[in-house]
Amino acid sequence: MLRPASDPFSPEGGLKLLRGNLGRSVIKTSAVKDEHRVVEAPARVFDAQDDVLEAFKAGELARDVIVVVRYQGPRANGMPELHKLTPTLASLQSKGFKVALVTDGRMSGASGAVPAAIHVTPECLSGGPLARVRDGDIIRLDSIAGTLTVNVPEETFSQRSVPTPALEKNGYGMGRDLFRVFRANAAAAEEGGGVCVP
């Protein structure tokens, strides 16, 4: 389990910070095979993990794809576990497709075979650039260089309007209605997503 500094499991460690025109995020690289460390593919954008599963069942994701799941950050949705996505995306990857996930939400530490840029900050509800990504945009996730970028001209990308998200479902179930005030005052994921209510 433990290795000396002279003979590490990985010279870079198992996590990496990604930076780029989509913000900052983290990726668990320790379980990602070398051939999956860089993925460049068209985006398919969703606002809920259940919508990803429906698209998968309909055969809409059977291609090279970077699945973007927005509005899952601390303020928008309290950062729920996106565990349902791991088997789905791994299935696509096993068929030979280039697959990755980009989200302002979180995933369990048990995930990792599919490259996943998680905790994207700033989150979409706080004006993060991930909210401006559209279906078909080419995204490049490069966990070797430490970059996360969308290949859209900056002038075009910055002028895109952001539709108002439908977040009504995020406030109910499992006592979520009780925590509305905490979500509204949550800090960014990279700051721990904590709450400081005056």
pLDDT at position 129 is 96
Q: Please indicate, yes or no, if residue 106 is contained in any of the structural domains.
A: yes
With vertex at residue 81, the alpha carbon angle to CA 67 and CA 52, rounded to the nearest 5 degrees, is 30
pLDDT above 90 covers what percent of the chain? 54
| Residue with tokens 């998200």, as numbered in its chain | 165
Q: How far is CA 171 from the centre of its chain?
A: 21
Mean pLDDT of 61-85: 86
Q: Please indicate, yes or no, if residue 94 is contained in any of the structural domains.
A: yes
pLDDT at position 142 is 97
For the cut 60, the answer to whether the pLDDT of residue 5 exceeds it is yes
Higher confidence at residue 108 or residue 149? 149
Alpha carbon separation from 42 to 23, 27, 101, 134 (Å, rounded): 18, 19, 11, 9
Q: Please indicate, yes or no, if residue 186 is contained in any of the structural domains.
A: yes
Which domain does 92 fall in, by range? 15-152+165-191
Q: Please indicate, yes or no, if residue 2 is contained in any of the structural domains.
A: no
| 81 and 108 Cβ atoms separated by less than 8 Å | yes
Higher confidence at residue 157 or residue 185? 157
Q: Please indicate, yes or no, if residue 23 is contained in any of the structural domains.
A: yes
Mean pLDDT of 140-151: 97
Q: Please indicate, yes or no, if residue 114 is contained in any of the structural domains.
A: yes
**Model confidence over 110-142: pLDDT tens digits?**
567 899 999 999 988 889 999 999 999 999 999
Helix and strand numbers, DSSP H then E, in the chain: 5, 8
Alpha carbon separation from 33 to 14, 37, 113, 124, 175 (Å, rounded): 12, 7, 7, 29, 39
Q: The domain spanning residue 131 has which CATH number?
A: 3.50.30.80
| Residue with tokens 């001209």, as numbered in its chain | 153
Q: Please indicate, yes or no, if residue 10 is contained in any of the structural domains.
A: no
Bridge partners (DSSP) of residue 28 are 15
pLDDT at position 150 is 98
Q: Please indicate, yes or no, if residue 157 is contained in any of the structural domains.
A: no
pTM above 0.75, yes or no: yes
pLDDT above 70 covers what percent of the chain? 80
**Model confidence over 159-192: pLDDT tens digits?**
998 888 777 666 555 555 555 555 555 656 666 6
Nearest-angstrom CA–CA distance, 101 and 77: 18
Higher confidence at residue 90 or residue 14? 90
The pair of structure tokens assigned to 180 is 């509305």
Mean pLDDT of 46-53: 93
Q: How many folded domains does the chain comprise?
A: 1
Average pLDDT, the chain: 85
For the cut 70, the answer to whether the pLDDT of residue 193 exceeds it is no
| Residue with tokens 């349902």, as numbered in its chain | 84
Nearest-angstrom CA–CA distance, 130 and 9: 33
| 28 and 14 Cβ atoms separated by less than 8 Å | yes
Q: For the ranges 22-31, 57-66, 132-141, which has the lowest average pLDDT?
A: 22-31
For the cut 90, the answer to whether the pLDDT of residue 149 exceeds it is yes
Q: What is the DSSP code string of 62-129? A: -SSEEEEE-S-SHHHH---B-TTHHHHHHHHHHTT--EEEEESSB--TT--SS-EEEEEES-GGGT-G
155-162 long-range contacts, CB within 8 A, separation 24+: 157/21, 157/129, 157/132, 158/132, 160/132, 160/134, 162/124, 162/131, 162/132
**Model confidence over 84-106: pLDDT tens digits?**
898 999 999 999 999 999 999 88
